[in-house]
Amino acid sequence: MLSDMQEDAMTLWSEILRCLSALRPACTRGRTFAWMALVVAGFVARPDLAGVTSFVRAGWLKEEVYRRLLALFHSSALRLPDLTRAWVRLVLALFQPVTVGDHVVCLADGWKVPKEGKKMPAVRSLHVESTNNTKPAFIMGPSFQAVSLLVQAGRGGVAAVPLTARIHEGVVWCNANRRTLLDKLAALLGEVATAVGARPLLLVADAYYASGKLVAPLRAGGHHLITRVRINAVAYRKAARPPRPRSGRPRLYGPKVHLRRLLRDSSLFISTPSPVYGEKNVVLEYRCLDLLWRPARGLVRFVLVKHPTRGNLILMTTHLELEPLQVIKLYGDRFKIEVGFKQAKYTLGAQAYHFWMADMKPIRKRSGDQHLHHESARYRQHVQRKLDAYHRHASLACVSHGLLLHLAINFPDAVWRSFRSWMRTMDTTAVPSEHVVAESLRMDLPEYLLRAPIADLLRKMIVDNIDPNQAPRWLTIEEIAA
């Protein structure tokens, strides 16, 4: 008979391996899938965030495993489009998505990662907007755009499960290509929408994405957008029909409306308790109008909000049937993707890769995009191979992050029983954080190796590649192999 501690160890690690089996179609070979499972185990159980070497230390593996793990990230046998498609479908099966009618709510945002690799493609000078005086105005690094799914969590809360992340800036393959970051995000959302299936998306994003370049492709696919517009934004009322027909195209836009001026008349605002998660005893005021917006080339819904502490803001949605309080609540949930970025950085090390390109021309400090249209085909091929390695690392980090959230939301009791440590603010009745889940998995890994069946894939990969000199002294190789 297994003790409760042993059962929890088996439950958590067995559940991870069960979920990973759904990603098998993304690998052309069984061996590739086995190494992918080992990488995911390294993400969730490594003791530090020092690149691929920390995966080796997490499983007490042999030195030669390091090269094999590098080969996985650079291998075309792990197909990125298939991995994204399989992961999105798995997320929909594991979690309860937040929905508005038939629409599945997704979050999108950009993520600028500090990284000064002189021989790393897509590293460029980036402007960082921050009110923190200790942060520099410009950094060197890659610029990612990420998409997450908003799901239900414990105690009526929500969480952002990462679906995919791609580098959309820093490399210019052809000068004739004029695609912007918004165009590339729309294409990324198209991949996610294809994996989701027949259900349309409701995207929540910040003010950067309030553009017709994103609204048009979303509407064409039956999707909608919630975002914030600038305080100086203008809209238009519908043009009145003339009493007599006139020649030419009928006028569409009527009188101009300065949305900022509408905030002055408080008599037209409605007071209500804040619907935003985490805000108690907060009363805000709002006003809702349906007006024409030129970037969208049609009618949109504006929600003007007066918040007692956050000030005035103007929200916009292309979904004309959404209630104003729904718009405010969903936009308030947008910050969950930023919480996810922090966990991905400090708990998982999602961008802690160090994949250098040996034959790359060194990048200069404060340089911009790298133009490759004059480079040789071989050089361009090497750059693309390296970018694919970065994307595989980010995608597997998304998978690992999502599995930690899955265990935290759906197996909280087993996680807390496995967490044999202490925190000052620990609440065992709440949903554990990703850090708590990762710490529990790290503590349970030896127990899992001792109790798992011999045919278990992850156990077999670790046992076949373990270094006896690196394993803990109390965890003998004879006991594991028995």
70 and 185 together in one domain: yes
* Distance of alpha carbon 129 from the chain centroid: 20
402 and 450 together in one domain: yes
190 and 296 together in one domain: no
Residue 350 lies in a domain: yes
Q: What is the pLDDT of residues 186-228, one digit of tens each?
A: 999 999 999 998 899 999 999 999 999 999 999 999 999 999 9
Q: What is the pLDDT of residues 34-53, one digit of tens each?
A: 999 999 999 999 989 999 99
347 and 459 together in one domain: yes
Is 165 a residue whose pLDDT tops 50? yes
280 and 409 together in one domain: no
CB 123 within 8 A of CB 116: yes
Show which of 324, 358, 386 is a domain's final residue.
324
pLDDT at 1: 42
Q: How far apart are CA 319 and CA 442, in angstroms?
A: 44
Show which of 295, 324, 353 is a domain's final residue.
324
Residue 56 lies in a domain: yes
Residue 397 lies in a domain: yes
186 and 75 together in one domain: yes
407 and 295 together in one domain: no
364 and 448 together in one domain: yes
In the chain, the largest separation of any two C-alpha atoms, in whole Å, equals: 94
pLDDT at 415: 93
Q: What is the pLDDT of residues 220-252, one digit of tens each?
A: 999 999 999 999 999 999 888 877 777 777 788
361 and 319 together in one domain: no
348 and 199 together in one domain: yes
Average pLDDT, the chain: 90
Spatial neighbors of 249 by CB under 8 A, at least 6 apart, are: none
* Range 112-133 average pLDDT: 82
Residue 277 lies in a domain: yes
Is 473 a residue whose pLDDT tops 80? no
CB 303 within 8 A of CB 324: yes
470 and 392 together in one domain: yes
- The pairing of strands 270-273 and 224-229 is unpaired
Give the burial string for 424-457 (b: 16+ CB within 10 Å, else e): eeeeeebbbbbbbbbbbbebbbbbbbebbeeebb
Residue 215 lies in a domain: no
176 and 67 together in one domain: yes
CB 284 within 8 A of CB 308: yes
The domain tally of the chain equals 2
Q: How far apart are CA 315 and CA 306, in angstroms?
A: 11
Residue 211 lies in a domain: no
Is 105 a residue whose pLDDT tops 70? yes
Structure tokens at 468: 């006896």
**Full domain range(s) for residue 171:** 4-205+337-481
Query: Model confidence at 478, in pLDDT bands (50, 70, 90)?
Result: low
Residue 470 lies in a domain: yes
Residue 218 lies in a domain: no
Show which of 324, 350, 380 is a domain's final residue.
324
Q: How far apart are CA 264 and CA 260, in angstroms?
A: 8
pLDDT at 80: 95
